[in-house]
């Protein structure tokens, strides 16, 4: 077989330009495929992370009845849960929230609103709400009924820092509450929809208006340090508080979990399609190489080279082309993804569209290392499959016909 | 004892409604050490006869016995292996492997025979020296003249230590000087080492050197002396 490898290696350099074109097409195809995959994967990861960090967290705890109907009355006492979560070293942060659905209005605009009562310090640690402020103060100690609104809502309300807006919502007994709040800050979110919908007020202010006792909350959201702990912590909390609904982010947002699940499969399909297209180029090139060398291949069979060795030689030649183009493409892709993951790809021109899907305009390509191995395997499998047809054509050559004379 | 024997050997081809008898009931015996030329006009069946003797083509009927083995009964891989071990080939168009050097081309046959690296190298160098190419051992075919390439082909044909060498029009593409040089080498190998050569040829210079001439016409042996 050593001879086969040696001749095959030299054969691929007979027509340098043709081999170089095939190597380049494999190399560019793989690079493009992996980079597009990394872009898609990174985009999906960012969307997932954004949703988890800004909206749903890793785990949420609710009164079981809240899941069916988001009524103000369906609260639970956070104290016991708080105590347990405070002691758990696996948690990065958690915060309690009191919520009410209602309307927000100013002299210029009126619209639906999700009013979220938060503990300022806990919320800052959990969702980094304070860092998202673009203007104003984060729940100053002085002054009553402060509210933080998103920039998109501020534009609609034509509100400025210090403006008064009216929030209308129902309390636990079904009474309509109408209360004035003073705008203390504007926050920025990756999702413009969230900026329009969510308003943040002090939890104590909202509890008082809803007629709830301190400690009565609608939601506890928690972030964990490691994704791997989510299921375990969820099960432990559920065991401690069987009456409460403890949900993971996958349960809270099934579409996000589904997108996460199918992403890797989708990326392999992209690579598979690219390699399928490339394999036709390989078949064409190797078929030309076989047909050009009919006489030589016939001679090899005449003088005693077995058909198995002739077949192997064509397979090895194709394998060499993949061996040159494949790793080069994978290495360049790895470098591009690594560079992109540091600097990010700024898609500011599409920022409005991306924001409506909750995605930041700077995309950081990323790929799990297993994908590189998977791609390598696909490249070599597809290349070898592509080599079979030309190699079989070589096998079918009749030595006498190829030589015409011995 | 004959190293090649054919019995009622025929090879027929279908050409539309016609049947062409390229080789027609040929009975032939070739002894070891012969320097035989198969001659005849174009289309007379010389090459087909050579192909049948070399196991490159299958007879329509009859037998080909080489070294006591009925090669017409051998299956594909067994036949390839038989050719490798027993027959050397020299082609009209040289047909060297262009990506290998002269020495590597000669070694190639021995590689297929699984000879050791030392044996391959020694024998290849000896053979190339015998054909007067010791200075061109490391050159590739494209760097050699036609005559030199054909001499490499002769060295390659002898590399496997075959029972005989079949050469189809070996001088057809060579000039006079190269033809004379090549014939000198092959004749010397025949005379000094007893190697059997069987040529198909039109070349009078080859015919003049042959120890035996077989005249073929219409697929039949018309004369043998």
Domain boundaries, chain A: 2-52+257-403, 99-117+127-213
E strand or H helix that includes residue A29: helix A16-51
Output DSSP code: residue A365: -
CATH topology of domain A99-117+127-213: Barwin-like endoglucanases (2.40.40)
Q: How far is A16 from chain B (nearest CA, A)?
A: 13
Q: Residue B91's closest CA among B105, B104, B110?
A: B105
Q: Give the separation between CA A344 and CA A338, rounded to whole angstroms.
A: 10
Q: Give the separation between CA A223 and CA A52, rounded to whole angstroms.
A: 8
CB atoms within 10 A of CB B119: 12
Question: Tell me, what's the pLDDT at A356?
Answer: 66
E strand or H helix that includes residue B190: helix B176-193
A330: left (phi over 0), alpha (psi -120 to 50) or beta: alpha
For residues B100, B50, B83, A387, the Cα torsion angle rounded to the nearest 10 degrees is: 60
Sheet holding B61-66, edge to edge: B18-31, B2-15, B61-66, B69-70
Q: Residue A296: its chain B contacts at CB < 8 A?
A: 95, 97-98
Of all residues in chain A, the percent with pLDDT exceeding 70 is: 97
Question: What are the start-end ranges of the H helices in A293-347?
Answer: 294-303, 307-343
The mean per-residue pLDDT over the stretch A212-223 comes to 92
Please provide the average confidence, as pLDDT, over all residues in chain A: 88
CA closest to B106 among chain A residues: A303
Q: Give the separation between CA A74 and CA B142, rounded to whole angstroms.
A: 90
Q: Please name the residues in contact with B51: beta carbons below 8 A apart, sequence gap of 6 or more.
A: A400, A406, B57
Q: Residue A222's closest CA among A114, A322, A384, A88?
A: A88
Q: Residue B211's closest CA among B220, B222, B198?
A: B198
Question: Tell me, what's the pLDDT at B175?
Answer: 82
Do B12 and B60 touch, CB atoms closer than 8 A? Answer: yes
CA closest to A293 among chain B residues: B97
The closest CB to that of A304, out of B50, B76, B84, belongs to B84
* Rounded CA Rg of chain B: 17
Best of B95, B111, B113 to substitute, by most chain A Cβ atoms within 10 angstroms, is B95
Tokens of B173: 């593409």
Q: Give the separation between CA A150 and CA A169, rounded to whole angstroms.
A: 19
Question: Is some CB atom of chain B closer than 8 A to the CB atom of A11?
Answer: yes
Question: Is some CB atom of chain B closer than 8 A to the CB atom of A7?
Answer: yes
Q: How far is CA B27 from CA A119, A174, A203, B207, in A?
A: 109, 117, 112, 21
Q: How far is B132 from chain A (nearest CA, A)?
A: 23
CA closest to A304 among chain B residues: B84
Q: Residue B76: its chain A contacts at CB < 8 A?
A: 307
| Residue A77, helix vs strand vs coil | strand
Q: How far is A397 from chain B (nearest CA, A)?
A: 12
Question: Is some CB atom of chain A closer than 8 A to the CB atom of B51?
Answer: yes
E strand or H helix that includes residue B1: none
CB atoms within 10 A of CB A346: 12
Question: Tell me, what's the pLDDT at A406?
Answer: 44
Q: Give the separation between CA B20 and CA B23, rounded to whole angstroms.
A: 9
| Residue A133, helix vs strand vs coil | strand
**pLDDT by residue (tens digit) across A289-320?**
888 888 888 888 888 888 888 899 899 988 89
- Whether A406 and B54 lie within 8 Å, measured CB to CB: yes
- Whether A405 and B77 lie within 8 Å, measured CB to CB: no
- Whether B91 and A403 lie within 8 Å, measured CB to CB: yes
Whether the predicted pLDDT of A256 surpasses 70? yes
Q: Give the separation between CA A93 and CA A50, rounded to whole angstroms.
A: 16
Question: Tell me, what's the pLDDT at A371?
Answer: 85
Whether the predicted pLDDT of A354 surpasses 80? no
Q: Give the separation between CA A325 and CA A321, rounded to whole angstroms.
A: 6
| Residue A187, helix vs strand vs coil | strand
Whether the predicted pLDDT of A358 surpasses 70? no
The closest CB to that of B51, out of A3, A306, A406, belongs to A406
| Residue B9, helix vs strand vs coil | strand
pLDDT in tens, chain B (225 residues): 688 999 999 999 888 888 888 888 999 999 888 999 999 888 888 888 999 999 888 899 999 999 888 988 888 888 888 999 889 998 888 888 888 899 999 998 888 888 888 999 999 998 898 888 889 999 999 999 988 998 899 889 888 888 889 998 888 877 888 888 888 888 888 888 888 999 898 888 888 888 899 999 888 887 767
- Whether B99 and A10 lie within 8 Å, measured CB to CB: yes
pTM over 0.80: no
Instruction: Provide the residue count of chain B.
Output: 225
Output DSSP code: residue B211: S
Question: Tell me, what's the pLDDT at A405?
Answer: 45
Of all residues in chain A, the percent with pLDDT exceeding 90 is: 39
Q: How far is B77 from chain A (nearest CA, A)?
A: 6
The closest CB to that of A302, out of B47, B89, B160, belongs to B89
Q: Residue B53: its chain A contacts at CB < 8 A?
A: none
Output DSSP code: residue A349: G
What top-level class would CATH report for the domain B35-44+75-224? alpha beta
The closest CB to that of B108, out of A3, A301, A406, belongs to A3
**pLDDT by residue (tens digit) across A129-166?**
999 999 999 998 888 899 999 999 999 999 999 999 99
- Whether B51 and A400 lie within 8 Å, measured CB to CB: yes
CA closest to B108 among chain A residues: A3
Question: Is some CB atom of chain A closer than 8 A to the CB atom of B111?
Answer: yes
- In DSSP notation, B14-53 reads EETTEEEEEEEEEEEEEETT-EEEEE-STTSSHHHHHHHH
Chain B neighbours among A 360-399 (CB < 8 Å)? 399
Q: Give the separation between CA A112 and CA A107, rounded to whole angstroms.
A: 15
- Whether B83 and A304 lie within 8 Å, measured CB to CB: yes
Q: Give the separation between CA A169 and CA A113, rounded to whole angstroms.
A: 9
């Amino acid at each position: 077989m050593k001879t086969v490898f040696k001749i095959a290696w030299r054969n691929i350099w007979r027509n340098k330009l043709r081999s170089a074109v095939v190597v380049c097409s494999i190399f560019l195809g793989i690079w493009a495929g992996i980079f597009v995959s990394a872009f898609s994967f990174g985009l999906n990861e960012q969307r997932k992370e954004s949703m988890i960090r800004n909206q749903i967290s890793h785990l949420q705890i609710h009164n079981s009845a809240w899941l069916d109907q988001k009524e103000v009355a369906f609260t639970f006492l956070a104290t016991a849960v708080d105590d347990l979560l405070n002691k758990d070293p696996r948690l990065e942060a958690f915060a309690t929230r009191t919520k009410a659905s209602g309307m927000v209005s100013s002299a210029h605009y009126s619209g639906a609103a999700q009013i979220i009562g938060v503990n300022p310090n806990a919320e800052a640690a959990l969702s980094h709400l304070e860092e998202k402020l673009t203007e104003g103060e984060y729940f100053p100690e002085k002054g009553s009924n402060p509210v933080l609104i998103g920039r998109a809502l501020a534009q609609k309300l034509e509100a400025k820092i210090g403006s008064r807006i009216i929030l209308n919502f129902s309390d636990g007994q079904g009474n309509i509450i109408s209360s004035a709040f003073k705008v203390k800050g504007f926050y920025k979110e990756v999702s413009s929809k969230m900026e329009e919908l969510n308003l943040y007020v002090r939890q104590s202010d909202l509890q008082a208006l809803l007629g709830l006792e301190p400690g009565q909350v609608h939601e506890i959201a928690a972030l964990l340090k490691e994704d791997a702990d989510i299921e375990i912590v969820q099960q432990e909390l559920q065991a401690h508080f069987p009456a409460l609904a403890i949900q993971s982010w996958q349960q809270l947002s099934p579409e996000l979990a589904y997108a996460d699940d199918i992403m890797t499969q989708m990326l392999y399909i992209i690579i598979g399609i690219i390699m399928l297209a490339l394999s036709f180029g390989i078949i064409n090139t190797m078929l030309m190489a076989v047909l050009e060398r009919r006489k030589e291949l016939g001679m090899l069979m005449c003088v005693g080279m077995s058909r198995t060795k002739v077949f192997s030689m064509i397979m090895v030649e194709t394998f060499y082309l993949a061996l040159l183009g494949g790793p080069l493409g994978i290495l360049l892709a790895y470098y591009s993804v690594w560079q992109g993951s540091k600097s990010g790809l700024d898609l500011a021109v599409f920022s409005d569209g991306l924001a409506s899907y909750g995605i930041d305009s700077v995309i950081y390509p990323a790929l799990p290392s297993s994908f590189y191995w998977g791609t390598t395997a696909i490249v070599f499998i597809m290349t070898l499959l592509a080599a079979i047809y030309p190699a079989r054509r070589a096998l079918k050559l009749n030595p006498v016909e190829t030589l015409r004379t011995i | 004892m004959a190293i090649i024997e054919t019995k009622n050997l025929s090879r027929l081809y279908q050409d539309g409604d016609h049947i062409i008898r390229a080789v027609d009931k040929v009975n032939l015996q070739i002894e070891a050490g012969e320097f035989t030329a198969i001659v005849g006009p174009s289309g007379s069946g010389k090459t087909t006869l050579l192909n049948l003797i070399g196991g490159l083509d299958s007879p329509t009927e009859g037998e080909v016995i080489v070294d006591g083995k009925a090669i017409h009964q051998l299956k594909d891989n067994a036949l390839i292996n038989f050719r490798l071990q027993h027959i050397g080939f020299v082609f009209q168009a040289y047909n060297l492997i262009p990506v290998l050097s002269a020495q590597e081309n000669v070694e190639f046959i021995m590689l297929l025979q699984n000879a050791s690296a030392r044996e391959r190298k020694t024998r290849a160098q000896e053979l190339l020296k015998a054909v007067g190419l010791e200075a061109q051992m490391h050159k590739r075919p494209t760097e050699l003249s036609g005559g030199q390439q054909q001499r490499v082909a002769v060295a390659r044909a002898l590399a496997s230590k075959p029972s005989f060498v079949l050469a189809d029009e070996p001088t057809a593409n060579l000039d006079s000087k190269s033809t004379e040089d090549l014939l000198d080498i092959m004749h010397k190998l025949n005379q000094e080492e007893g190697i059997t050569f069987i040529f198909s040829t039109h070349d009078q210079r080859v015919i003049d050197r042959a120890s035996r001439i077989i005249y073929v016409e219409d697929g039949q042996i018309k004369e043998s002396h």
